[in-house]
Copies of this chain bind each other. A is one copy, B any other.
Amino acid sequence: MTAAQVAALVGGRLVGADRSISGVGPLDSAERHELAFAEGKVPEDNKAGVLLVREALPGRTCVVVANPARAFARLLAQLFPEVDGLLEQPRGVDVDQPAPSTWVETFVHPTATVHPSAILGVSSAVHAGAFVGAWCQVGAGTVLYPNVVLYPGTIVGDRCRIHAGAVLGADGFRYQSDPKGPQKVPQVGRVIVGDDVEIGPNCVIDRAFLEATRIGDGSKLDGLVMVGHNVQIGRGAVLAAQVGLAGGVKVGDGAMLGGQAGVAEHREIGAGAMVAGQSGVGRDVPPGEAVLGSPAMPLRVARRVYAVLPRLPELVRAIMREKG
């Protein structure tokens, strides 16, 4: 691929001599046969053959665009074609050759299991070892990576990526005391996932008691996240790795939860709220508010508390002296 081809692809302007690249690299280690992008200043010793930048550099081959990061993302999507959601060639692809068709009609791997009553959308993919139970629905363009499990009745929207090992729709965790010992209450609801949702590897999303555990359009869950029964997640929410939401929690549109944060039963995280990593939320968080700590405090309060916390022993000594 040449710099001129890159410029055409991302709608940029070639400045300097055209040249070939065979791959891409990070700004600090790209080599002469590679392209790198820069948001800010390019280091003196940079060796990249082609630079994707906002302003041309003298003596260098540059592709000039308004937004280098966005242009780079588009270039990557072109350079590294996917088939059924999996990268076909992880590095140094020669795109002078015609790209393979990047998508097939409803791919189901021979080792996957799809119940006859399940419905798979066009251009969806069910990879090796994945399981799609009775009455499930999988939307158009959605990819179920290897060993994903959808329990019966689970509904996943369009263009979702459910990563390897994620389990959607297992029973919530609910027992009814009974003279014969605790009896399991059948959880007959389901999980409903919207469009453009990404669910990370080995996540667990439990089904609801009667209605649905819901994950709204465009929300993103990183790996090993636990979503309890009857949780309602809005649109565009972001849950970092290992977050845990207990049963009945509500998460508003665009809320963000940091890694390992936990939210107690039935609590509400308002739209646009921010829960810092490892926080433990035992109360409702109003829309737009940022909280930190276990138990969670408003971010500003928590920062001050944690700043003085190491001095607590000294404080105790000071007081004891005065009283003594």
A216 in contact (CB, < 8 A): no
| B135–A176 touching, CB < 8 Å | no
Size of interface on A: residues with Cβ below 8 Å to B:
105
Q: Which of A11-19, A56-64, A82-90 contacts B (4 or more CB under 8 A)?
A: A82-90
Render A166-191 as a binary contact track against B, CB cut-off 8 A, 1 for contact. Answer: 01001101011010011111101010
Q: Closest chain B residue to A230 by CB distance?
A: B26
| B149–A147 touching, CB < 8 Å | yes
In the bound complex, CA of A167 to CA of B128 (Å): 13
Q: From B135, B218, B308, give the contact of A312 (CB < 8 A).
A: B308
| A147–B134 touching, CB < 8 Å | no
| A182–B218 touching, CB < 8 Å | yes
Task: Give chain B residues whose Cβ lies under 8 Å from the Cβ of A151.
Answer: 86-87, 145, 164
Chain A interface, DSSP helix/strand/loop, else mixed: loop
A116 in contact (CB, < 8 A): no
A250 in contact (CB, < 8 A): no
Task: Give chain B residues whose Cβ lies under 8 Å from the Cβ of A244.
Answer: 224, 241-242, 259-260
Given contacts A198-B184, A206-B223, contact A305 B315 (CB under 8 A): no
| B90–A152 touching, CB < 8 Å | yes
Q: From B111, B152, B175, B312, give the contact of A305 (CB < 8 A).
A: B312
A222 in contact (CB, < 8 A): yes
Chain A positions near chain B (C-beta within 8 angstroms): 24-26, 29, 69-70, 72-73, 76-77, 79-80, 86-91, 109, 111, 113, 127-129, 131, 133-135, 145-147, 149, 151-153, 161, 163-165, 167, 170-171, 173, 175-176, 178, 181-186, 188, 190, 196, 198, 200-202, 204, 206, 209-211, 218, 220, 222-224, 226, 228, 236, 240-242, 244, 246, 259-260, 262, 264, 277-278, 280, 294-295, 297, 301-302, 304-313, 315-316, 318-319, 322-323
